[in-house]
Amino acid sequence: MHAPTPPRREARSLLPLYFVFFVSGCAGLVYQVMWTRSFGLVVGGTTRAAAVVLAAFFGGMALGNWLGGRFALTSRAAALRGYAFLELAVAASALLVLGWLALYHGAYPGLYRATLETPAGLTALQLALAAAALGPPCIGMGATLPLMSRAVVTGERLLGRRIAFVYALNTFGGVVGVLLSGFWLPVALGVRGSLLLAALLNVVAALGALATARGIGEAAGVTPGAADAGARVRVALPLALVATASGLGTLALEVLFTRLLVNAIDSSVFSFALMLATFLVSLALGSALVSACVDRLRSPWTLVAAGASLGAAAILIAPALCKRFWGFSAELPWLRGPLGAATELLPVAFLVMGPPALLVGTVLPAIWRAAIERAADAGALVGRLTSLNTLAGVVGSLVTGFVVIPRLGTSRGILLVAALYAAVGVTALLQTRRRAAALAVALALVALASLRSWEVVPAILQPGQRLIAIDEGEGATVTLTESSSGVRSLNVNSRYTLGSSSGREVHRSQGELALALHGAPRDVAFIGVATGLSLSSILSHPTIERAVAMELLPGVVRLAAAFRKENGGVLEDPRVELQLADGRNHLFGTDVRFDAVVGDLFVPWHAGTGYLYTVEHFQNVYDRLSEGGVFVQWLQLNQASPEEVKSLAASFTAVFADAELWLNQTERGRPLLGFVGFRGRTAAAEGRRRVGEMRRVCGADVLRAWSTATPQNTDDFPLIEFSAAASHLERGSDEVQQLLAEIDGLRATEQKRWTADVPAAQNR
């Protein structure tokens, strides 16, 4: 008979397991971020494509939670050995995902063309591809929680504390994974290197678990046969309903709060990483709170009632706080620093997201404790309840993004989630037989909802602006505004203006350059529609038979109708073929060739936009050009540093041996650079040095020599997206002048070469 282990010694013996699960959480979020990036390059960057990757990831996790619960009916030592095996399996299957992605890259174009006319079929195809690749590692990741829950529980006395604490540590590890992935890993190690690092972390976790398992006696906590234990372990209906509601509400809340806060951020990869990290930190703190007190309470249902009811109140108040503090952090000079505007987000994010997420984050760990009566059943019950919670989370995220926000709006979506948590709080109080308290809480929350603090328009207006129309779509909020001087603007998430009713000529010239350089284009493509002004350049080219216009956001197309006068009604032109798709992905999937392709102005630091400036994208465009075809990619000069422009030049000339740089200074203060690539030249392009107000700067040789020492921007190393996310925060007019001076130097170098070549040609 073994003497009981002293509490302090027992606690110290669990430290290695705490470290192991922290490391595992870090690896899990690195995988999630990197897989989202990688699959977006295959299946596209649309909201629906991202959603299928999310569904595959969390669907696999939910299945793993359930399976892990079945395998957790064993001794602590056996649970740890099983845990170690799963970590190794996750590492191995995660590396196989790289092979799957390579296979998909080759097969996807044919599959895309076969399902292009049936959107539901395309979505089903994308889900099947993601599930096949991500299923094995995600199932393994999901199964680790029940096994670790069994491993850290040595008895009933501190059961709730141990499980909630290890879950909090796992979530804190996820925070580290998000921050590493959002700030450093892709540029330091590349996307593939980051996935290899995550696999290495899995191996470290496995070795740590095996080493700890050796020190645990097999006799400690041995259960009866798994079949007998499985027959005994049942999840009561109230517990199942609350776990489901908690998952549904938590992921829905993340989507809704992100849609609110995105109006106050610069949409860089840094800002999105900080938002996700803020939400995860708050959830982890909620779990840590449960760990500190749940075993001292007479009934865990009391904690469920408090967390859900107070969480519902915080959710109702959050939109008013968000509206009140939009722009608040910009007034705090001490927040300026290397991250600049990205760190401005933190105070608002913690004020808005923090309290609701912390409070609702107490529900699931408290439910675990309410369900578990025997230590031996801990892993099984954690697995079953978490499986319901995770599966409901997928549903909550998808329904919120694709149904609730587009049809009801963000504000009413927040009201629905608050009502859900209010119902959870009342249910929990009824479980403790406190009917009067349940009625009081219900009435108090109804009274708070009647104050309509949850009602807010998810848009920030500048002084003198008025809101004409708003479209809360699947991927973003698109607004149509009008200034006091009568200028109408089309905006995305309040922070980025796609175009306006002024500056018609500069927008139209963006399309005109490619069409003029070709001379007689028939099939053309435009990546980005915006107000339709750039697309309207086709109206002066009668040779054009088809113009494919690709737009990521349906709301942009719907509100672009307000610019019919400015764009000449081009969207109604029978030659225009509108594709609501990721432009890069559509060109990748189609086999049509074009005489001219126009890349609109894309903000380099917007999350994911940097992939429109990579070598792989330029190669994809080159492959879609017909002989004599022209591609123009535009860049607003004040949105990139000299090094970023050089990186773009190095990437562009790596694909287009025949390339030119053009300068468009039609719009004062914000000159545009046009990177022009040819697949063979037409007579119209030969010797052309001016189109309207746009002037040729230099050719490929000068451009290549200027950028030769700068690393290329690739899908694996998306340097521009990360570099621009940092550099744009401190950029001033002096940097634009520096770039213009360098461009003048390029023009002078080209002129010297040209004048030297003319006599040589005459002598020949």
Contact (CB, 8 A) for 164 and 290: yes
Are 634 and 592 contained in the same domain?
Answer: yes
* Radius of gyration of the chain from its Cα atoms, rounded to whole angstroms: 29
Least confident of 146-150, 400-404, 462-466: 462-466
Please report the pLDDT score of residue 310 as a whole number. Answer: 98
Please report the pLDDT score of residue 664 as a whole number. Answer: 92
pLDDT digits (tens, 9 = 90+) for 580-612: 999 999 999 999 999 999 999 999 989 889 999
Are 195 and 294 contained in the same domain?
Answer: no
CATH assignment of the domain containing 99: 1.20.1250.20
Are 76 and 151 contained in the same domain?
Answer: yes
Please report the pLDDT score of residue 327 as a whole number. Answer: 54
Please report the pLDDT score of residue 73 as a whole number. Answer: 86
pLDDT digits (tens, 9 = 90+) for 294-316: 999 989 999 999 999 999 999 99
Least confident of 57-66, 228-237, 536-545, 582-591: 228-237
227 assigned to some structural domain: no
577 assigned to some structural domain: yes
Report long-range pairs for 299-302 (Cβ below 8 Å, ≥24 apart): 299/370, 299/431, 299/432, 300/160, 300/366, 300/367, 300/369, 300/370, 301/366, 301/370, 301/428, 301/429, 301/431, 301/432, 302/428, 302/432
Query: Percent of the chain having pLDDT more than 90?
Result: 71
Are 315 and 429 contained in the same domain?
Answer: yes
Contact (CB, 8 A) for 326 and 264: yes
Q: What confidence category does residue 102 fall into, taking pLDDT thresholds of 50, 70 and 90? A: very high
Please report the pLDDT score of residue 8 as a whole number. Answer: 62
Greatest alpha-carbon span in the chain: 105
- What is the C-alpha separation between 449 and 622, in angstroms, rounded? 56
Please report the pLDDT score of residue 234 as a whole number. Answer: 82
The residue-averaged pLDDT of 699-713 equals 95
The tokens of 499 are what?
Answer: 């175009």
- Please identify, among 154, 182, 217, the residue that sits at the C-terminal boundary of a domain: 217
Q: What confidence category does residue 340 fall into, taking pLDDT thresholds of 50, 70 and 90? A: low
Top-confidence residue, 751 or 319: 319
Contact (CB, 8 A) for 494 and 459: yes
Please report the pLDDT score of residue 230 as a whole number. Answer: 47
Top-confidence residue, 176 or 51: 176
Q: Tell me, what amino acid is at 752?
A: K
30 assigned to some structural domain: yes
Residue 211 has pLDDT above 50, yes or no: yes
Are 198 and 345 contained in the same domain?
Answer: no
CATH assignment of the domain containing 328: 1.20.1250
Residue 731 has pLDDT above 70, yes or no: no
The tokens of 345 are what?
Answer: 């987000």
Q: 599 φ, ψ to 5°?
A: -95, 120
| 204-222 b/e (C-beta count within 10 Å ≥ 16 → b) | bbbebbbebbeebeeeebe
> 490: domain range?
466-496
313 assigned to some structural domain: yes
Please report the pLDDT score of residue 24 as a whole number. Answer: 97
The residue-averaged pLDDT of 232-259 equals 92
Query: Percent of the chain having pLDDT more than 70?
Result: 92
Contact (CB, 8 A) for 51 and 393: no
231 assigned to some structural domain: no
Please report the pLDDT score of residue 331 as a whole number. Answer: 46
Sign of CA dihedral 637, 643, 646, 648: negative
Are 262 and 178 contained in the same domain?
Answer: no
- What is the C-alpha separation between 397 and 252, in angstroms, rounded? 5
97 assigned to some structural domain: yes
Are 485 and 505 contained in the same domain?
Answer: no
Are 301 and 414 contained in the same domain?
Answer: yes
pLDDT digits (tens, 9 = 90+) for 427-476: 999 999 899 999 999 999 999 999 999 999 988 888 889 999 999 988 89
Please report the pLDDT score of residue 175 as a whole number. Answer: 97
Least confident of 193-197, 232-236, 444-448: 232-236
Please report the pLDDT score of residue 668 as a whole number. Answer: 65
The tokens of 568 are what?
Answer: 């000449």
pLDDT digits (tens, 9 = 90+) for 363-395: 999 999 999 988 889 999 999 999 999 999 999
The tokens of 188 are what?
Answer: 């330091």
Q: How many domains does the chain have?
A: 4
Nearest Cα neighbor of 596 from 661, 543, 653, 532 is: 543
Are 489 and 516 contained in the same domain?
Answer: no
The residue-averaged pLDDT of 654-668 equals 90
Q: Tell me, what amino acid is at 382?
A: V
Least confident of 87-101, 503-517, 621-635: 503-517
Please report the pLDDT score of residue 740 as a whole number. Answer: 86
Q: What confidence category does residue 220 fall into, taking pLDDT thresholds of 50, 70 and 90? A: very low
Please report the pLDDT score of residue 335 as a whole number. Answer: 44
Are 683 and 589 contained in the same domain?
Answer: yes
Looking at every residue in the chain, the average pLDDT score rounds to 90
Residue 698 has pLDDT above 90, yes or no: yes
Q: Angle, to 10 degrees, between the axis of helix 700-707 and the axis of helix 642-655? A: 130
Are 436 and 521 contained in the same domain?
Answer: no
Q: How many residues does the chain have?
A: 764
pLDDT digits (tens, 9 = 90+) for 485-507: 999 999 999 888 899 998 788 88
Please report the pLDDT score of residue 461 as a whole number. Answer: 87
Least confident of 75-89, 126-140, 188-202, 499-513: 499-513
Residue 337 has pLDDT above 50, yes or no: no
What is the SS3 string spanning 471-496?
EECCCCEEEEEECCCCCEEEEECCCE
224 assigned to some structural domain: no
CATH assignment of the domain containing 636: 3.40.50.150
What dihedral do alpha carbons 240, 243, 245, 248 form, nearest 10°?
A: -130
- Please identify, among 432, 458, 484, the residue that sits at the C-terminal boundary of a domain: 458
The residue-averaged pLDDT of 562-567 equals 94
Q: 636 φ, ψ to 5°?
A: -80, 125
Nearest Cα neighbor of 142 from 61, 25, 84, 26 is: 61
232 assigned to some structural domain: no
- What is the C-alpha separation between 394 and 68, in angstroms, rounded? 19
Contact (CB, 8 A) for 536 and 511: yes
Please report the pLDDT score of residue 669 as a whole number. Answer: 66
Are 710 and 697 contained in the same domain?
Answer: yes
Q: What confidence category does residue 229 fall into, taking pLDDT thresholds of 50, 70 and 90? A: very low
The residue-averaged pLDDT of 140-155 equals 93
Q: Which string of DSSP letters, residue by residue, matches 169-228?
A: HHHHHHHHHHHHHHHTHHHHTHHHHHHHHHHHHHHHHHHHHHHHHHTS-TTTT--S-HHH
Sign of CA dihedral 171, 172, 175, 177: negative
